[in-house]
Structure 1
């Protein structure tokens, strides 16, 4: 055995027997002068020891020189993140050996993972780029804090993450789960600005349509999640009113505008929960009751089902809205136009001709027999200009709408 190399901390020795040369290291500070085996080599390969939980060897196939990405002193990969990954992440993966090859393609072969030099070089380039970007971002964040706290210090604010490859690599489905609504809106605004780079109108239309579809999907998913929670909790009517007031124009494309009816001089003191204008300018009145409201009751004397007291009251209530709206159609329309007029926009022209009232109430779980279902169907169809929508029916509509958008996408 002869010494062939010396570093600041190590002595390197070689021992040759026939065509095989074994290489060892010795720590200079080791009083016992113990030598640790690093690798063996011949004309065809270098076989390195590796201290992985399952992977025990790194084989360098047909080497011209010892590759720079593997430590020649027996410490595995020169890049620490590679070392840690291959040491600790291959339990029960049927992989025992890494083969690094300049000529063979990357693939799994038996219990070996063959990794081509070019794939490894590309990976290391991305890791280094990520690390450089991270270090640059840290510097920028520190500088921006100084700018924010000490404006008199002569630094300029700098935007972070301007590395294109880094940004594109991080645009994946896992990122979506971590984004807030405001952050998604920020990305959407950037997307719209990015489309201006292209002068071809068909490209802009395609990109904008894609953004719209994705925005619809994200919005509907959020609405459905909140709706399901409300349906489970059976909250007060005011809670449902807040939900519909915020979201109905997002999930029902018929409607383009909500009217703040209470600010309009109509001469009445009782107001619908929601007043909505559809795409044709027609007005609908919404009345919201609790999802647990009883729908129908049984009449023992006539052996039939009739509206519950709560439903009868709300039918009477919305009928009154409709009657007053028809009697005062012209003045109502003028009041709405005057109220919605702004400095830059004309007021809203609406049509109060045979307006509809939509009652959102109850749940189909009350209709647990065929007779109840049929009676409820007959009762709801007997009403003129009044439509019943059960809360779970509306949830089903939302889910179907989401599925349709996903399919079209």
Structure 2
């Protein structure tokens, strides 16, 4: 049973409750009517997060919720006028009352709803539109602005009729003897919105129930095989402690040199702060005296998730505890101790472009980029790169030399040192 909270202006409550006529058996609606923004804020604060989804009587309360409760994760939609409703009303006006399109003021046509198609057939005789974008409705004084706009157009004799979607507008326009038509979504339009919300809820439920696999790999020291048994025991105990912290929401499976954890997508989001920070990395880094590789796998089946998890673990460095995520082939990471991963699609696209243009492995560029963010500097040495990428100093120096040759790094002048030996080379990385 889905619990859907419906937030509506009191003036719109009567038509909003038509939802009861089209209510699916697996949904229950809870109605919350407000008189002003202060009242709406209190209702949202109390009820928004405790429902599975939210519906709004119009774009004003919807935008209010979007701007004041940006952390809300429940799906939210608002009821709008459909083109079918809009043109049904226009037909009577044009053909029976002979109202011209360019003598109408409309406060609910904007780019986001395709201007309800008016630009496609009203060439030369366009109506007055309150705003070109819905973003205008995000302001606190939107009702005053829209009312003043309608009143001014009628005062200047530019229009004969106003179309409004704002419930609070009726009283204001009537007070100034302004002819208007108040539009409400028809049951047909409400059904479309409700179907859309239910679809989102069903997809969300599928995602929440999706199986996620964690593969934790213990790097094997071939020179000290006896150490492996100790590490297995220590890791297993640490995982059980971590499991208790999350109310036993994991299934733990112990293997020879690794541990597998099975959990749900919902718990994955919690333990990785929605892909940005891995609490498991922090916990194991604190608890263990040796590094482990943590791979998260998210696929369309348990087997696929297991494969992704194992592959993700191999992407991690063997010199420090790290985490990597692979979701349907998409690689995200590394997730490092105490570091928040800012997974920026625009930034990732830039790295992909560099990878293609300079023939450099994308994963290598991603690891370097995360390392620079962690160190908060673009100046590194081969030794520093070696430590953070889990490679030999020789390989790290070769990578830095290649970056220099491709103008993605500059070699800095040697710093004079009183110590013996060859001076270290430092490079300034230039990925951006």
Q: How does the TM-score come out when normalised to structure 2?
A: 0.28
Higher Cα Rg, which structure = 1
Q: How does the TM-score come out when normalised to structure 1?
A: 0.29
